[in-house]
Each structure stands twice: as structure tokens, then as C-alpha cells.
Amino acid sequence: MNREEVNKLAPHPLQTHEWGEFRKAWGNEVIYTPHGLLTLHKPPFTNKKVGMLIRGNAPTRKSLTDLKKVAAEQKLIFIKLEPFVKKSASLERLLKTSGCVKGKTLFTPTTFWIDLTKSEESLLKSFSGKTRYNIRLAQKKGVAVTNDNSGAAFDSYIRLTRGTVKRQRFYAHSERYHRLMWGVLNKAGIAKLLVAKYKNEIIAAWILFAWKGFLYYPYGASTSNPNHSRLMPSNLLMWEAIRLGRKLKLKTFDLWGREEGKGFTKFKEGYTPEVVEFIGTWDLVTSKLYWPYRFADYLRWRLLRIKSRFTKPSF
């Protein structure tokens, strides 16, 4: 399939031809099928592979049958499906009767959507009082947000991400991953960088994706300086991201995930977004090795969690 055919089919940035080319540069095998972009991954300590079709279109009986044929040709243990589709009882029945089982999630099963077709005035009124206050505070204190896709701005994003990983002790994609992704998706016009500056210093930065009427917020980082944090740059970044989405005539802002009780989820809730539940994660089982693989994968992640208590994440 050529680029135009792939992108006509793609409902989400992670299904675009550009994302596939980035994944190839990262080291994955990529298969462009009539039913979506499939990346192949080799689990540790095995010569077998698994497939992933993430954020694709709604599965059909034909697409699932065809994917089983691809799995047989490639000798895959299973294909992980996370469709960009809202929860549906009929679709769940189709998946279950076609050899799929609930799988380990990559994306959270719910996310937040903001309606960008509303006026700026209407959107601002819908925010919580605290959120509106923090936006005004950032503006009053002199924080300025711009869309800056320059190499220098991206270097600042990398610096801030490294500091955020160290400060919050979470595991993130490596610097090389981010640079490869940015190089491909920004050139294609999909990825954009919003930066918040205070006294000519970038103190927070977000990468945004724009694709087929949607704006997405996949990555963000901020300074560890408490004096800068008190300026509420992230609140102004969110507001300016909304304004950018409207300027680009996009219809929906997907905030890329929702986890109950997490601090950043509470931050997002201040913008009173709609909670959207997807169909979730399903594994299309294509080998008898599937359940042994699931058990081994469970043990592996348990060991990694134990290890993480004694080692610091790197970037």
C-alpha cells in the first residue's frame, strides 16, 4: 500500500504511514494491511513475535479473518488490537466469537475529549473556577505560549523531559525514540510543539498531534523549579492548545488517557472534558503459545516492578 492509501484508511496518528516509517527507523518490522498498520515485536528470550494494531478502525469479521492469515504467515503468537472505537456490546461479541480475549492494555480504556467546535467564551465558562484562575495567573505573571517547532525548542523539550523523568521516577521512551518520532511526524505536519516561556526561558513544553479533525496531547514536560511551577504554565499550555486546535479547525481535543486518582487526571478534569470509553484491548489469539506467553510476560513485569524500586529510570 502506498502512503495515500494508508493515510486514507488511518483514523489516528498511530495508524499513519508516517508513524509506520518512524517505527521502521526505530527497528520494528511494519506491515501495511488493508485493515491497518501492523507493527511486529519480538519478546525477550524467544524467537517468536507478536503483532500490534493500535488505534485502528473498528474490526469486522473479514478484517479479523484476514489478520489471522497474516499472523499465520508471520508466525505470530497473537495480534494486539486497540481500536479507536467507542465501547460497543455488538463489537465485543464479534471479538469474542472471532478468537479474541481481553489483553493487557497499552492505552487507558477511557480518555477525555474536549469539544473544539464551541466558542472560546463557552469553553472558558465551562472550566472549573480554579482552572480559569490558574490560566489568568499564568498570563498575568508573564508566561507566554507559542507554537515553536525549531530545533532549539525541541532540545528544550528533551531537557525538560529528562528532568521530569528523573523527578517523577517514571519510565519514558528514550531520547532517541523522541527524536526519531519528532523528525518524521513534524516534517509531515502531524506533530507540533507548544512551549511556555517565562523571561525568555522555556519552562514547559508539549508535543501535540493533529490528524483528521482531532488534536492529541501525547507528551509533555515541565521544569523542576518550584518558582516556575507556581506560574501555572501547564494550565496556560492547555488553554493555548485548545485555541490552536480551534485555529486549525479541528473538532475534538483528545487528552490521551485518563487514570482514576492520578494528579494529571485531576488537572485535566478542570477543563470539564467528556469522558469517553473505548472498546478496550483485545488479543487475537493465533498460537497455542499465547497463554504460556501471557504467564511469562506477567512474571517479567513483576520482576521489572521490583527492580524499579532499586534503580532510577533513565531517559
Over residues 267-298, the pLDDT tens digits come to 999 999 999 999 999 999 999 999 999 998 88
Q: Is pLDDT at 311 greater than 80 in this prediction?
A: no
Convert the pLDDT of each residue in 11-33 to its tens digit: 999 999 999 999 999 999 999 99
Give backbone dihedrals phi and psi of 248, rounded to 5 degrees, phi first: -80, 0
Q: What share of the chain is helix, strand, coil (3-state, %, to 5)?
A: 45, 25, 30
Beta bridge partners of 222: 204
Summary mean pLDDT of the chain: 94
The whole-number pLDDT of residue 112 equals: 97
Three cell numbers at 273? 472534558
State how far the Cα of 161 lies from the Cα of 167, in Å rounded to an integer.
10
User: All domains of the chain, ordered by start, with CATH?
Assistant: 3-107+278-308 (3.40.630.30), 110-276 (3.40.630.30)
What percent of the chain shows pLDDT beyond 90? 84
**pTM higher than 0.85 for the full model?**
yes
| Type of residue at 289 | L
Residue 151 pLDDT greater than 90, yes or no = yes
Residue 124 burial (C-beta neighbours within 10 Å; 0-12, 13-18, 19+):
middle
Q: Which amino acid is at 15?
A: Q
Of 158, 280, 132, 144, whose CA–CA distance to 219 is shortest?
Answer: 158
